[in-house]
Chains A and B, each alone.
Chain A
Amino acid sequence: KAGVTQTPRYLIKTRGQQVTLSCSPISGHRSVSWYQQTPGQGLQFLFEYFSETQRNKGNFPGRFSGRQFSNSRSEMNVSTLELGDSALYLCASSLASSYNSPLHFGNGTRLTVT
Chain B
Amino acid sequence: AQSVAQPEDQVNVAEGNPLTVKCTYSVSGNPYLFWYVQYPNRGLQFLLKYITGDNLVKGSYGFEAEFNKSQTSFHLKKPSALVSDSALYFCAVRVLPLNAGGTSYGKLTFGQGTILTVHP
Point out residues on A near B: beta carbons under 8 Å.
4, 6, 31-33, 42-43, 45, 48-50, 55-56, 58, 90, 92, 94, 96-108, 110
Contact at A102–B46, with CB atoms within 8 Å?
yes
Alpha-carbon distance A43/B106, docked complex (angstroms): 13
Q: Name the contact of B107 in the complex, choosing from A56, A90, A100 (C-beta under 8 A).
A: A56
Q: Name the contact of B49 in the complex, choosing from A45, A96, A102, A110 (C-beta under 8 A).
A: A102
Total residues of chain B contacting the partner, CB 8 A: 25
* Chain B, 1-51, CB within 8 A of any chain A CB: 32, 34, 36, 41-46, 49, 51
Contact at A104–B46, with CB atoms within 8 Å?
yes
Contact at A99–B43, with CB atoms within 8 Å?
no
Contact at A55–B34, with CB atoms within 8 Å?
no
Contact at A45–B42, with CB atoms within 8 Å?
no
